[in-house]
Structure 1
């Protein structure tokens, strides 16, 4: 996690995770890419649900595991939710127009991006969610690139986000 900013926050409920995510939504712009790392059940989809609600998405936001990509166009800007878990080869990213979508007109949230590290964009915000046995989630956000650094800075300065800077 070199060359970027890192912030974190703990949440104790799914609602608190969604609330934190909702504070990111006002700062998202077309072309923003957010990678979501974490084990099954860590809260990645809950995070996307919080962003989607704050963007004005009324449709139910579910995990795109079996669809690979779910699109939500009704909010302030289009939201693209990828789940790369079921993909096996980098060539499959072309099959789903991954590169066209992330460079497009909305914000993209990508679960299981760590499967294809060489195929991620140059500039992205990485969010890692870990949950302990009590259900407390540790949410760590790290910026890679100038736009994601700017995004993380404004998000961290939002008093509702309550993110704390950490040194690595």
Structure 2
């Protein structure tokens, strides 16, 4: 599924719609795109739509930050950029077993990702324009993305 984004407002609306579809589910969402493509910007809007009160910022140096959503469950924000070439299991499965996890640079930990997740790729355009490609990889993620059309 492809979605054209033309502004920051479009990004926020896209994140809000995804938050509504993912609310109260246990799902992993991977975000891929070049540096500056808008992965953390999307995650901030997504978390806000899920009722996170804390400021969401990039976990590049800490790798993992956890926040509490409105429903009391965790929103885990993982930035795997610094894990390129690391082959050991870092225990992310525990995060994936509760709440919602958003993983930036997921290719670096793809062996640890659950089979059923939503993959979002952000391709930069001119100024705030982006092309979003979403792919589901299993039954739960497929049911979530099917709801996007409604």
Q: After the TM superposition, which segments of 4 or more aligned residues of structure 1 sit over 6 Å from their partners?
A: none
Mapping of residues 146-165 of structure 1, within 5 Å: 146-157=139-150
1:33 match: 28
What runs of 5+ residues in structure 2 fail to find an aligned partner?
none
Shift of 1:74: 4.0
| Aligned 8 A contact 1:39 1:130 in 2 | yes
1:99 match: 93
Per-residue CA deviations over 1:93-128 (Å, capped at 9, x if unaligned) read: 42xx31111112x10000000123333211000000
By percentage of residues, which structure has more helix? 2
For 2:27 and 2:60, the matched residues in 1 are separated by 21
The alignment's TM-score, normalised by the length of structure 1, stands at 0.81
Q: 2:102 aligns with which of 102, 109, 133?
A: 109
For 1:102 and 1:81, the matched residues in 2 are separated by 11
Q: 1:78 aligns with which of 74, 77, 82?
A: 74
What runs of 5+ residues in structure 1 fail to find an aligned partner?
1-6, 158-168
Q: Secondary structure at the match of 1:109?
A: strand
1:22 match: 16
Worse-superposed segment, 62-71 or 126-135 = 126-135
For 1:119 and 1:56, the matched residues in 2 are separated by 27
Matched, 1:89 2:82: no
Matched, 1:64 2:59: yes
For 1:135 and 1:27, the matched residues in 2 are separated by 24
Q: Secondary structure at the match of 1:23?
A: helix
2:48 match: 53
Name the Cα RMSD after superposition: 1.5
Per-residue CA deviations over 1:10-42 (Å, capped at 9, x if unaligned) read: 112223212211111122134200010101110
Per-residue CA deviations over 1:33-85 (Å, capped at 9, x if unaligned) read: 00101011101111111111111112111111011011111423321100000
For 2:13 and 2:44, the matched residues in 1 are separated by 10
For 2:145 and 2:12, the matched residues in 1 are separated by 17
The alignment's TM-score, normalised by the length of structure 2, stands at 0.90
